[in-house]
Every structure is written in C-alpha cells, then in structure tokens.
Amino acid sequence: MKKLQSLKVLGAVSGGLILVLAFQNCAQSLGEGFQIDTQTVKLVNQGSSDLVGGSDEGETEEGEQSTGDLCEDQLYAKFGSGYYVFLKNNCAGCHNGEHEAPAFASKNSLMSYQVFKDKGYTSISDNAVNPAHNPPYTGTHHNGAIASLKQEWAAAQSAFLSCKGDDGVDKSVVTANKTNATIVNSKANPATWTKIEWNYSTAADMPAKAATFPLKMSVEFQVAKVSGSEVGYAARSPTISITSGTAKYRVKGLFFYVNDKMLDSATVYRNINAVVCPGTPLALAPVGNAQLLVMNTTKTTDKFALQFTSIEKAESTATCGTGTNVVVPVDEAPANVTYAMLVGNDSKVNVFKTQCLSCHSGAGADGGLDLSNYAASKAKSAAIIRRINDANAPMPRSGLMSSSMKAIVQKWVDLQMPQ
C-alpha cells in the first residue's frame, strides 16, 4: 500500500469561479467498521522503533499503517483510539470515502487521519454536537464524548510538538481590517475590480503589537453574482512586494476575513508557498484565478482582512517566486452542461440525480427546493450556489463537496442554465 500524503480539497477555477454542489441525505446504516490495529497503538505508546520498521510503502511488517514519522505515529495512534472510534461509529454513513463528503471515517484509518487533520478537529467536533447537522447521528447527546475527545486531542497535539521539538508558536499573521465602498458601489459593472492594499510595516494596517514586515500586499475584490443574485465577493490577483531592505521573505497559506470572520471554506490560495525578493512585485497566483468568498449580503461597510499562515525571513539562497507549490486550478467540467444532463443517467455529470434528488424532488422537497423541476432549479440557482459554498450551513449537511462536482454545476450556471 502506498503511503498516503496529506489530502487537500482544492477549488478549481480557470478564468472564473468554480463551485461545489450536492444535496444528499447521508443518514444511512453504518457499514462494517475498520478496526485500527491494536498492535500499532501498543507499539506507539511504548515508543517502539518497530512501528516504522516495515516496507517503504508506509506499512509495517505486521501490516499496520504508519505516517513514516515516529512522533506523528503517536498522534495517529491517539486518533485511532479516540476520535476515529467515535467517527466510525457515528459518521461512517456519510464520511466513509464512498461519498463526496470528507472521508474522516473511512475503513482506511490513515486516510481518515489525514482528512481529519485537514478538516480540523474543531470543525468536526462542532458538527458532531450540532443537532441540525445530520440527526440523529449528530446532536447534543454527544456533548460529553466530544468534550472528552477534544481534551485528549489537545494533549496529544502538545505531546506531538514536544516530540518534534517545536515551540508550538502560532506564526500566522493577520492584517487590520479595511473597507472600500467602491466594491459594492460598482457591482453593476462586472468588469470592475477594486484593489485594497495592506502595508505590513505600518500601524494603520496591522493590529496593535502585531509583528511587522517590510511587505506590501494587494488584492482585487468585486461583488460576485450568479444569475443576477449576489452570493458574496470574489477576490483575485494577490500580489506582494518588499518595501525596504535586502532580505527575502517566505509567505505561506493565504486566507480571508470578512467582518472579522475567517472564511476558511475558501481553498484556492491556501497552499501558497512563495519566496518574495526585493525588486519586482510577486503575483502569488495566476491572473484570473479568483477565490469566492460566500456571504449572505454585501454592504459598503464590510471589513476585509488577510491572513498568512506564516511569514518568515527566507534563507539568502532561496529561489524567488512561487516555485511548484502554487495551485494552478484546472477547469475539468464538460464544455456543455444542461439540466437534462444533471438529472440524467450519465454518471460523469448527473450531479443532481446522484446527490440531490433523494431530498430535493417533488411536492415535499426539503426546503421547498424541487431540483427535479427545471424551472424551479433555474429560479433558485443563486441560492444553490450560495449554500453549496457556505461551510457554516452547507448542502449537504455533511460538508462541502468535491471541486469536480462543483465545476459541473458552475458550468451549467455559467452557460445560463440550459435545459
């Protein structure tokens, strides 16, 4: 078995926005669970070197899976004896890897562990105790179990940092808020993008006592619309430059805040890893590579801020630029998508049929959204786009869906929703 790497869900765009869709009731019976190998847990807890002594494909001679790092194997084992047991017993109906939902309860415990880390234990825990997420599999009856699991996981993470010799310092850098009424005031013109700039060395652009850097960052914003209805903002062309000095800087992971809320469901720029050098400003992502920021409403008083997961001085020999780590999204949707295809029998494109119609069809359709009816689907296209990109109230309730399915539905909308 090949060793699994960290799994990332990347939004795909090419000269525009690509979004994700599926409305699905995943409350199905729990399948046969995967039992994490108790010998793995035992070896890890004993600190045995035998744990990683197996094949170079990421398995030990006993067949247990390993992360390939002894310190992380301890964290993996804690996941296996804690969160994984809970998730397997309560969430495998949706999150078993057989659906588009994040596969943190699959039969492959290592894959589950990687997805669990990527999704974040806080988000998963919140959904587990949320009675509106997917009852009866979620709800307040899990409060006690989740509280205990969160406490255990926090201790396991501290032990992991200690094992790795990491100081555990949060290196994220968040700017101060900025507003620009022009973004909303110019929304009638889809060709207009409004630039906001942050200077990382000034008190006006950085919070009090925040670390400062000789860097200037700009991002272009506009109000995003689907079928004439606003769904939030779009952000593009993140560009950074050095304002003084000869040092190089490495920046990683760009995220956005709107009105002091981090929109962490946005994924397009999360894997940025670039070295900024004195001289020419550096475009952190290809021109036209836009990021959708889902909102319920847009106002001239909305506040914008940026976060990098880290900004640090780079070694003097570091190669300037984005290297190979910038995600260049690719539009993999068919050239033509019709409503008939979305509800048809072609498994490559029938997103509505396979993911939505079990709940959203007929007179009793959930939320009054009947996706088995073309006119109703077309009329609600903006609402569909908004919900399938809103991580706080997603459809399906189990979480945001894959970029490939997102692309198919977005292509239908971009083509003006042909029947």
What are the φ/ψ torsions at residue 147 (nearest 5 degrees)? -60, -40
Q: Which residue has the higher pLDDT, 353 or 233?
A: 233
Contact 19, 9 (CB under 8 A): no
Residue-level pLDDT at 195: 97
Q: Cis peptide before 135, with omega less than 30 degrees from 0?
A: no
Residue-level pLDDT at 25: 35
144-173 mean pLDDT: 77
49-75 mean pLDDT: 51
Residue-level pLDDT at 360: 85
Residue-level pLDDT at 100: 65
Q: Mean pLDDT highest for which of 41-45, 73-77, 265-269?
A: 73-77
* pLDDT of 226 above 60: yes
Determine the Cα–Cα distance for residues 417 and 419; give it in Å rounded to an integer: 6
Q: Enter the pTM of the model.
A: 0.51
What is the tens place of the pLDDT at every residue in 310-326? 899 999 999 999 864 44
The vertex-39 CA angle with 34 and 44, nearest 5°, equals 110
Determine the Cα–Cα distance for residues 196 and 392; give it in Å rounded to an integer: 26
Residues in CB range of 114: below 8 A, 6 or more apart = 4, 5, 6, 7
What is the tens place of the pLDDT at every residue in 159-214? 777 776 545 556 788 999 999 999 999 999 989 999 999 999 999 999 988 889 99
Determine the Cα–Cα distance for residues 145 and 164; give it in Å rounded to an integer: 28
93-104 mean pLDDT: 80
- From first CA to last CA, the distance across the chain in angstroms is 45
23-36 mean pLDDT: 30
Residue-level pLDDT at 301: 96
Residue-level pLDDT at 262: 78
Q: Which residue has the higher pLDDT, 290 or 47?
A: 290
What is the tens place of the pLDDT at every residue in 43-54? 333 333 333 333
Contact 138, 130 (CB under 8 A): yes
Determine the Cα–Cα distance for residues 130 and 147; give it in Å rounded to an integer: 13
Contact 267, 10 (CB under 8 A): yes
Determine the Cα–Cα distance for residues 383 and 373; give it in Å rounded to an integer: 15
Determine the Cα–Cα distance for residues 112 and 96; give it in Å rounded to an integer: 9
Determine the Cα–Cα distance for residues 293 and 287; give it in Å rounded to an integer: 17
What are the φ/ψ torsions at residue 282 (nearest 5 degrees)? -105, 120
What is the tens place of the pLDDT at every residue in 198-207? 999 999 999 9
Residues in CB range of 276: below 8 A, 6 or more apart = 215, 240, 241, 242, 248, 249, 250, 251, 282, 320
326-341 mean pLDDT: 70
Residue-level pLDDT at 139: 92
* pLDDT of 285 above 50: yes
Parallel, antiparallel, or unpaired for β 291-294 and 173-174? unpaired
What are the φ/ψ torsions at residue 309 (nearest 5 degrees)? -65, -25
Contact 388, 321 (CB under 8 A): no
Residue-level pLDDT at 29: 27
* pLDDT of 248 above 90: yes
Residue-level pLDDT at 164: 64
Q: State the sign of the Cα–Cα–Cα–Cα dihedral 120, 126, 130, 136.
A: positive
Question: Is 255 strand, coil or helix?
Answer: strand
Task: Among 202-206, 231-235, 279-283, name the one with the lowest average pLDDT.
Answer: 231-235
Give percent of the chain with pLDDT exceeding 90: 30
